[in-house]
């Protein structure tokens, strides 16, 4: 029986020449890989995981490690920004072991599998879409590609691209074993959650559902499509209890696209958790149209510590072509409800959207400041290959399709009417305006008692964070006209 080694590339998530503070602030387990790993283990196939994001390695050491593990095949899962790093790994492995099958998967490979197989010869196969059934069938076939395997794309001996066609999505997610956190070196210590996003550790993330029925223009639904499939409330509670008993986990970030979509499932989970007596706290993410005071009261009682809600922009008109049900007044109301329930509320915002103007940016900053968010996260708009907006993005501004920089921390798209320096200035201005307010500074001082480990991590890495702040201050000055208020 042959063995596969999965690799999570390091990728590029920050500014060149600076310490990657994203890794200092948050290292998330590679959930796709640890789920594939446990699925193969359940069916009797040996496998290992090498996580280069949590534990960066020079290429020679990485190749030696894979060969030491006696891999019969290698699976590499990447995002758009980590694909170049993953491909360099594939090339190095091919140079060291030409016959070693290299299999790619993940949202980026799924969205443009034909393009990748055409232009990247070190990639032998691509798992298109949801991975578990396809990788299992491939393992059962000794990692030899075949058109009989649905969800698999590959080049045959003549170089012709073949595809087994789409595979039906898994309907019963409770058949999946718990993810193989044990395959991650240094878990959970080496996988810290975002700073100030948990009250106490050890902490980790888990995923309780797949897919999202909404059709936002900037979201890639290539893997899970526009479905919503989910673990039962019982499965979720059992996984929390297992994490607590096995690793001492005291807080989890439920990293679903929309955990709140089915209110009855959320209610059942909270009620089961309360009945069990399990004290593990949790964060989640969702849309405001799924929350009301009664549900929030129950969630708080069950240990909900923070809810992240997608806002994107403080201007409804600019979001109307990109997102359904974008009601800012409803958002204001729900943020008040969340605060009243005693739950932290993180606003998720986006900058550089097609049609962006200085006025819409002012509205976004004002909305973030004036509506009671306890935390704000701002990403830089990125048109990913599998997202609907990708096909028409050139009509709205200048797009540089540099995959390595398509990480939501770089402006690869510049809307008409802006320069890169101006966008960087507004980006820095958003964070300064939100976090430098006296009330916000006092709030985060109170986190010394609410999230003491976060403060210790922050102070330990203070020089790196101060360096980033200085860079952002310079960027704000560089791109701001003298008249900017």
Could you tell me if residue 248 is inside a domain?
yes
On whether both 129 and 220 belong to a single domain, the answer is: no
pLDDT tier at 16, thresholds 50, 70, 90: low
Mean pLDDT of the chain: 93
Neighbouring CB atoms inside 10 A of 480's CB total 17
Q: What is the pLDDT of residues 301-357, one digit of tens each?
A: 999 999 999 999 999 999 988 887 778 999 999 999 999 999 999 999 999 999 999
Cα–Cα distance measured from residue 383 to residue 212, given in angstroms and rounded to the nearest whole number: 18
Which of 90-104, 263-277, 310-324 shows the lowest mean pLDDT across its residues?
Answer: 310-324
Among 280, 328, 330, 336, which Cα is nearest to 304's? 280
Could you tell me if residue 302 is inside a domain?
yes
The answer to whether residue 457 scores a pLDDT higher than 60 is yes
pLDDT at 202: 96
Joined tokens for residue 12? 């590029």
| Average pLDDT of the residues in 158-179 | 95
| Average pLDDT of the residues in 282-300 | 94
pLDDT tier at 18, thresholds 50, 70, 90: low
145 compared with 468, residue with greater pLDDT: 145
Could you tell me if residue 177 is inside a domain?
no
pLDDT at 483: 40
Indicate which CATH number applies to the domain containing 220: 3.20.20.70
The answer to whether residue 17 scores a pLDDT higher than 90 is no
Which residues, in sequence order, are CB contacts of 262 under 8 Å at separation 6+? 228, 230
How many separate domains does the chain show? 2
Q: What is the pLDDT of residues 387-443, one digit of tens each?
A: 999 999 999 999 999 999 999 999 999 999 999 999 999 999 999 999 999 999 999
pLDDT at 14: 59
On whether both 209 and 337 belong to a single domain, the answer is: yes
| Average pLDDT of the residues in 189-203 | 95
Could you tell me if residue 182 is inside a domain?
no
pLDDT at 485: 38
Joined tokens for residue 16? 């060149």
Could you tell me if residue 386 is inside a domain?
yes
Could you tell me if residue 484 is inside a domain?
no
pLDDT at 220: 82
323 compared with 207, residue with greater pLDDT: 207
- The most confident of 13-17, 131-135, 315-319, by mean pLDDT: 131-135
Return the SS3 of 310: strand
On whether both 317 and 422 belong to a single domain, the answer is: yes
For the packed helices 59-68 and 83-96, what is the interaxial angle rounded to 10 degrees?
60
**Taking CA 433 as the corner, what is the angle to CA 428 and CA 437, rounded to the nearest 5 degrees?**
140
| Average pLDDT of the residues in 104-124 | 96
Q: Which residues constitute the domain of residue 25?
A: 4-163
Indicate which CATH number applies to the domain containing 68: 3.40.50.280
């Amino acid at each position: 029986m042959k063995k596969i080694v999965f690799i999570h590339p390091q990728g590029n998530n920050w500014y060149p020449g600076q310490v990657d503070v994203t890794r200092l602030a948050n290292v998330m387990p590679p959930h796709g890989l640890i789920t594939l790993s446990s699925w193969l283990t359940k069916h009797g196939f040996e496998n290992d995981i090498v996580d280069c994001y949590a534990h960066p390695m020079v290429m020679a050491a990485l190749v030696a490690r894979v060969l030491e593990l006696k891999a019969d095949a290698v699976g590499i899962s990447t995002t758009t920004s980590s694909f170049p790093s993953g491909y360099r790994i594939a090339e190095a492995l091919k140079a060291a072991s030409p016959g070693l099958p290299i299999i790619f998967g993940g949202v980026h490979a799924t969205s443009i599998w034909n393009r990748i197989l055409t232009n990247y010869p070190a990639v032998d196969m691509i798992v298109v879409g949801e991975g578990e059934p396809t990788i299992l069938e491939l393992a059962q076939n000794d990692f030899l590609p075949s058109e009989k395997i649905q969800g698999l794309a590959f080049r045959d001996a003549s170089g012709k691209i073949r595809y087994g066609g789409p595979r039906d999505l898994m309907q019963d997610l409770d058949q999946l074993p718990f993810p193989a956190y044990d395959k991650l070196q240094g878990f959970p210590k080496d996988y810290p959650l975002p700073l100030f996003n948990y009250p106490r550790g050890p902490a980790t993330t888990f995923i309780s559902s797949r897919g999202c029925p909404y059709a936002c223009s900037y979201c890639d639904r290539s893997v899970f499509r526009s479905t919503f499939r989910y673990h039962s409330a019982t499965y979720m509670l059992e996984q929390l209890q297992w994490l607590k008993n096995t690793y001492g986990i005291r807080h989890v970030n439920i990293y679903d696209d929309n955990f709140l979509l089915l209110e009855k499932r959320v209610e059942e989970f909270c009620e089961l958790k309360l009945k069990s007596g399990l004290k593990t706290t949790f964060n989640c993410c969702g849309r405001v149209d799924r929350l009301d005071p009664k549900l929030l009261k129950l969630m708080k009682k069950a240990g909900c510590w923070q809810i992240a809600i997608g806002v994107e922009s403080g201007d409804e008109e600019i979001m109307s072509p990109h997102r359904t049900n974008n009601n800012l007044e409803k958002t204001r109301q729900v943020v008040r409800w969340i605060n009243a329930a005693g739950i932290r509320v993180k606003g998720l915002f986006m900058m550089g959207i097609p049609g962006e103007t200085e006025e819409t940016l002012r509205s976004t900053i004002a909305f973030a400041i004036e509506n009671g968010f306890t935390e704000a996260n701002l990403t830089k708009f990125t048109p990913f290959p599998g997202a609907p907006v990708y096909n028409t993005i050139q009509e709205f501004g200048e797009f540089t399709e540099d995959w390595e920089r398509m990480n939501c921390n770089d402006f690869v798209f510049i809307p008409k009417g802006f320069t890169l320096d101006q966008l960087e200035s507004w980006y820095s201005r958003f964070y300064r305006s939100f976090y430098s307010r006296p009330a916000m500074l006092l709030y985060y001082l109170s986190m010394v008692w609410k999230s003491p480990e976060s403060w210790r991590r922050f102070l330990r890495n203070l020089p790196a964070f101060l360096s980033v702040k200085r860079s952002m201050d310079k960027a704000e000055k560089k791109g701001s006209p003298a008249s900017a208020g």
